[in-house]
Amino acid sequence: MTSATQRLMDLVGANDCFDIAPDELLPVQLEAAHERLQCQIGGIGLLAYRAASVGINEVNEPADLVPLLFAHTAYKSYAEGWLNERRWDRMGRWLATVSTRPVEGLDTDGVESLDDWIKQLETVGHYLSCSSGTTGKPAMLSCTEGDIALSARINAEALLWATGLNRGEDRKFLGLGPQFAAPREDAIRQAMIGAFSSRYEPYQFGDGEPITVGSMMDMITLRRKLADGTARPGEIADFERIAGQRAADMQASAVKAIDAVIDARSLPLLATGMFATLYQIADGIRAKGYSGDDFSPNNALMVAGGLKGAVLPPNYREHVLETFNVSEERLYHMYSMREINATFPLCHAGRYHISPWVIMLPLDVSGERLLDPGDGEIEARAAFFDTSIEGRWGGVISGDRITVSFDRCQCGHQGPTVGRDIARYSDLPGGDKITCAGGIDAYVRGVA
């Protein structure tokens, strides 16, 4: 008999993938989670430690998973000092503790930079997906070749499901945001181009060189030196100059992107980006005298992520859609996170649908207790067990506050869904908390 994990993987891209009754799925999902636990517990040090300390060795019900979940911060739990001092041995030992595969036999002799180390890790089967490090130390998640291929496929299939587009229809692909160099993100992009864009040359925002996490190292290092009190004023001034240059480069890229979009206006388009950048480009298009009427009908748009702190006018969404001539049903919006392979597409009733190979675990604010939504909608801290992940433990507690329901969605499909209103707990106003206890981080300004 095929494994439960395999049975769930077979649902990727299946027609009824987002329409399975939760009760029917749960036994298979739990079996798959149990399979993952058995085969990963020997490799992932943190999982073994956690399982031993809570005394859980098998998964029989969703609550068994809760004490075994990793906080999303586990993937940035290395000491920043190791990174700054280029202690690749310790970084390697850390990565192995949160990854399925070992980091044995890694040759770090020629490794000078973070980018070198990440490249070298690929020789031992670790393909890292890193956050940018612009707002703190970067998260680093190890993926296998399988995770990468699957992430790419899952994303393309979800896009097809949500928008009704057909594989093979020719569209010019417009990447309207900075491109980060990482195998997983590359593969996701290539899969979309492959599905729709054989005929037209894809366009990519920026100067052709994808941004690497290593290029953020100067910022990470300076932040540490500021906290340690060892940064010299000259270093800060140099950094400010570089940061200014980067902002100017972004601006220049946005101006170029406006012309690129206008040039492509007669072609069927599939554009991707985040609302903040898309809004800026839409504004530029309007300023040059173009509007939705100049663009081909049936354009499609994929928008990732929230506003990430950007302040836009209330009608930003309509403004972008009208300018690019994209109808609501051709807008693909999804909820996802680097910590899982799945992406949850937004349906026409305005809800994100959870993939069948993912166990939705609504938790209390502290992330310790499983909540029972009953037959209603509840507010919860989002946590998931993604049974598809090979390179890491599939159970993760996010930093997101969501609303979730296990009832049939108004769009007609079954399965758990998440409401549109998603907030990061860290972005919620801190209220009137005031305390005399705190650390040096409060004193570090300018390179947040």
Q: Which residues bind another protein (CB under 8 A)?
A: 45-46, 48-50, 53, 70-71, 73-74, 77-81, 90, 93-94, 96-98, 227-229, 366-368, 397, 429-440, 442-443
Residue 17 or 69 having the CB closest to another protein: 69
Integer CA distances (angstroms), 354 to 87, 130, 342, 346, in order: 39, 24, 8, 10
From CA 265, how far away is CA 324, in angstroms rounded?
A: 9
Q: How far is the CB of 340 from another protein (least distance, A)?
A: 17
Residue 104 or 432 having the CB closest to another protein: 432
| 136 and 80 Cβ atoms separated by less than 8 Å | no
Q: How far is the CB of 139 from another protein (least distance, A)?
A: 12
Place of tokens 């979730």: 404
Q: How far is the CB of 227 from another protein (least distance, A)?
A: 8
Q: How far is the CB of 97 from another protein (least distance, A)?
A: 4
Q: How far is the CB of 388 from another protein (least distance, A)?
A: 22
| 119 and 138 Cβ atoms separated by less than 8 Å | no
Question: 370 is written with which tokens?
Answer: 């499983």
From CA 52, how far away is CA 46, in angstroms rounded?
A: 10
Residue 110 or 438 having the CB closest to another protein: 438
Phi, psi of 232 (to 5 degrees): -90, 150
Residue 287 or 311 having the CB closest to another protein: 311
Integer CA distances (angstroms), 285 to 88, 249, 256, 282, 322, in order: 47, 19, 11, 5, 11
Q: Is the dihedral of CA 128, 133, 135, 137 positive or negative?
A: positive
Residue 329 or 364 having the CB closest to another protein: 364
Residue 79 or 250 having the CB closest to another protein: 79
Q: How far is the CB of 79 from another protein (least distance, A)?
A: 5
Taken as a whole, the chain contains a residue count of 448
